[in-house]
Structure 1
Amino acid sequence: MRYCVFAGSSTGHDPIFGRAAARMGTTLAERGIGLVYGGASVGLMGILADAARRRGGEVIGVIPRSLVEKEVAHSGLADLRVVGSMHERKALMGELSDGFIALPGGLGTLEELFEVWTWAQLGHHGKPCALLNVGGFYDGLTSFLHHVVEAAFLKPVHRNMLIAADDVDALLSALLAYQPPKVDKWMARSNA
């Protein structure tokens, strides 16, 4: 089993984010769960990968050639896959993974999470998608998603596909217990 973890190439201002990334990497390795991630040696990505490596975990980095220098590709990985584009990166990460977790991060982290969650909504996969809401980092996003449901742009069943927890162990337990919803069609036709 492998989980793909999306995370920032920065560490952010709060040290709690780095501690959470280290805890995630360590816990995945200790549970025998492989890590697939963005392939960088910097920021939360680097902390995550180094923690998993220290515990002897499987770590697969996937990075586009254009970001090898910008994100400082991790030279210590036994399995670093350099691909041609961001699209290839996300496709390969999805193919290699049994679930997806977003740690704190910026636009890339959010974009990656929303793409795999959309794939799940459309039925392209039944893999769990999750947020590690450490330090309340994703509180604003979860509040906004509630607003999206209230405005009838997202069905509650699809909103509930995104797991959120503020603790690594609780999050991993929820991922392991995840059962994709049975939805025949995700969009109703208008009667206009």
Structure 2
Amino acid sequence: MKITVYCGAASGDNPKYAAAAKRLGEWIAANDDELVYGGGGVGLMGVVAQAVLDGGGKVHGIMPQMLIDRNAAAKGLTTMEVVDDMDERKRRMMELGDVLIAFPGGPGTLEEIAEAFSWARIGLNNKPCVFFDFDGYWQPMAQMFDAMTAAGFLTAPDRAKLLFTDSYDEITRWAVTYQPPKIRTFPVRK
């Protein structure tokens, strides 16, 4: 299975994030899965990728040339796909992964997983979306999705298609049994 991981190009202020990112990479490699990610050699991105490589796994990076020019790219990856821009990067990461996981990160990480889930609701992404909720990091976001549901902006069945967990076993079960949301349709307007 190819696992797309969205995560920070920064490491955060607490070393616990890097340690958890390393465990995520080790888990991917130990299961003979492959990592698809943004191609960075910095921050949590670099930690996850290096852990997969150190475990003998395959790592597929996808990065726009502008970030390669800024020396953000990791070295020694299995493959590095150079794309034109961030939109193409996000699209390719979504296409290549079998499951999409948001590890703790910043606005870019949030944007990537939110877009993937949004696209699932309109039929453009049939991949399971997971917020890897290490140390409760994503709980405010879970509450936001619950608020969207309570306010009628997100259906309860669609909300149930988004997993918040830090359990590797639960991620595996979710990926294997996942059924995409029903594609939204709209009534005919007169």
Q: What is the TM-score of this pair, normalised by structure 1?
A: 0.91
Paired AA for residue 30 in structure 2: E
Partner of 1:175: 175
Any stretches of 5+ residues in structure 1 without a counterpart? Answer: none
Could you tell which deviates more after superposition, 44-53 or 61-70? 61-70
CA distance in 2, matches of 1:162, 1:189: 25
Partner of 2:161: 161
**Cα distance, 1:116 vs structure 2:** 1.0
Partner of 1:124: 124
Paired AA for residue 73 in structure 2: A
CA distance in 1, matches of 2:16, 2:185: 39
What is the DSSP-based 3-state SS (H/G/I as helix, E as strand, rest coil) of the residue aligned with 1:16? helix
1:186 maps to 2:172: no
Could you tell which deviates more after superposition, 117-126 or 104-113? 117-126
Contact map agreement 1:23 1:168 (CA 8 A) in 2: no
Contact map agreement 1:132 1:168 (CA 8 A) in 2: no
Partner of 2:34: 34
**Cα distance, 1:166 vs structure 2:** 1.9
Partner of 1:77: 77
CA distance in 2, matches of 1:71, 1:121: 36
Partner of 1:61: 61
Any stretches of 5+ residues in structure 2 without a counterpart? Answer: none
What is the DSSP-based 3-state SS (H/G/I as helix, E as strand, rest coil) of the residue aligned with 1:171? helix
1:136 maps to 2:136: yes
Contact map agreement 1:163 1:175 (CA 8 A) in 2: no
